[in-house]
Amino acid sequence: MRTLDLDSATIPDLRRLLDAGTLTAVALTEAYLTRIRTFDARIRAVLFVDPSAVVQAAASDRRRAQGAGPLGPLDGIPVLLKDNIDTRDLPTTAGSHALLVAPPAEDAPLVSRLRAAGAVLLGKTNLSEWANFRSTRSTSGWSALGGQTVNPHVLDRNPSGSSSGSAAAVAASLAQVAIGTETDGSIVGPGGACGVAGIKPTVGLVSRSGIVPISAEQDTPGPMARHVIDLAITLAVLQGEDPDDPATVGYPGRVADYVAALDPDVLQGARIGVWRIPDQGDDVDAVLATTVDTLVRVGAIPVPVDLPDQADLGAAELPSMWAEFKDGLARYLATRPDAPQTLAELIDFNLADPVELSRFGQDHFEAAVAAPPLTDPAYRARRARARSLARASIDETMAAERLDAIVVPSNGPAWLIDYETGDKDEIGSSSPAAVAGYPTVTVPAGFVGPLPIGMSFIAGRYADARVLAFAAAFENASKARRPPGLLSTLP
């Protein structure tokens, strides 16, 4: 471990060492646990550490020593989980005191898949409470239970949300991989702001059962890591049908080999739409220009594009999510009998708790209480319009310009943590793919001072392998990522 650089090591690197016997899973796990003990008091990314982590790692070592071979591609690899994903042996709280009750009865299916692949589950990460769906004035990375996760590059800056703990943890090398979730921007935003890679998969590629919901139309879990190849390996483990998740009914029915799709020459001759967000600022423009230069250098053909109807899309999205949150949360709370059982009870709980509303309110909760049922014709029309606008903005743009993918900045420079003003990031590039249910991969692309900027590669439904391949090729060509400096503030 003295010679192993965790920041630069990929899963294939670690697997080679583990298989050769020059590294043990116990040593690797203890190294990450040591980093959590050493650094997380400053970052506050990890909410719970699994006390069985070293025992899990020892079981992995025994399998190799006995000649049984690894269980799967993640055998012995330490992984963190966002704390809105059910685990039978650890709390699942969504950052709220209201869910700090008995753990769920069962693992979420994606957790079962990780265990079956041999992953060592290190623990749970902090998040923007209720996955950033409690208030329009929220501060990303804050939860009543976990406090404020900070950006490991500059500690007074926001990590973006809501998978803030997952992004900050992998940026600071507190785990090899972390699992996040996204409804709209909650993987690609913190991935970009914390300088790591992350994929929001096609909705329905990975089961959402056992995850605290926002929108059954948009929610999806996905991996976050320092290297795109680690995303590909982990997504291959997570993907698959779930009879309890209707979104997986359209699953293609085959196991994609995302690693085999990582062709280093895939960008050569590829037509890549370049979407510049209005008013994103000169600094982000400069990173986008550097991105275009890199794409040209490796043989891609950049094509300027402008995705239409973004304002109309946003106007239809939020009211739809209020109705979906009300419905989905009631179903989830029924699986947690020790917790409040209705949204109205949660609102009352927060009013009585001394911490829950100390930083911002719960206007999303209040709007959701008043939202119509999912059978309401107005709701159904609004959701259909949002989906149609989102899919058309991507599909028609790609068809008209004969594009293979679209690239767009994932984030602006991380903003100061400020509970008076709340979140400030206004890039807003995640919505078309999020509402359409299409895949997005964010990958580090550059810096504004010490603050990372990511670029998102977007394409159509089930084009996950393609966007991963483009992101990996860009990552290799740009070599833009660097480890966080843990600066206390900007000079």
- Torsion, Cα 76 79 81 82, to 10 degrees, reads 180
Three-state secondary structure call for residue 406: strand
Among 128, 173, 186, 393, the one annotated catalytic:
186
Cβ count within 10 A of residue 352: 9
- Torsion, Cα 193 292 283 459, to 10 degrees, reads -40
Query: Is 82 one of the annotated active-site residues of the chain?
Result: yes
Residue length, the chain?
A: 491
Query: Is 124 one of the annotated active-site residues of the chain?
Result: no
Buried (b) or exposed (e) across 384-411, using 16+ Cβ within 10 A? ebbbebbbbbbeebbeebebbbbbbbbb
Three-state secondary structure call for residue 39: helix
Nearest to 84 by CA among 147, 49, 129: 129
Sheet of strand 220-225: strand arrangement: 46-49, 120-125, 78-82, 177-182, 220-225, 197-200, 440-448, 451-458, 405-409, 271-275, 301-305
Instruction: Judge whether 394 and 436 are in contact, CB under 8 Å.
Output: yes
Among 82, 124, 200, 326, the one annotated catalytic:
82
Peptide bond into 162 cis (omega under 30): yes
Query: Is 162 one of the annotated active-site residues of the chain?
Result: yes
Query: End-to-end distance of the chain based on CA atoms, in angstroms?
Result: 34
Instruction: Judge whether 158 and 141 are in contact, CB under 8 Å.
Output: yes
Buried (b) or exposed (e) across 414-432, using 16+ Cβ within 10 A? bbebeeeebbebebbbbbb
Among 135, 162, 215, 431, the one annotated catalytic:
162
Q: Give, for 408, the enclosing helix (H) or strand (E).
A: strand 405-409
What's the rounded Cα separation, in Å, for the pair 219 and 215? 5
Q: Give, for 59, the enclosing helix (H) or strand (E).
A: helix 53-65
Nearest to 135 by CA among 318, 311, 313, 5: 318
- Which residues are tagged catalytic? 82, 162, 186
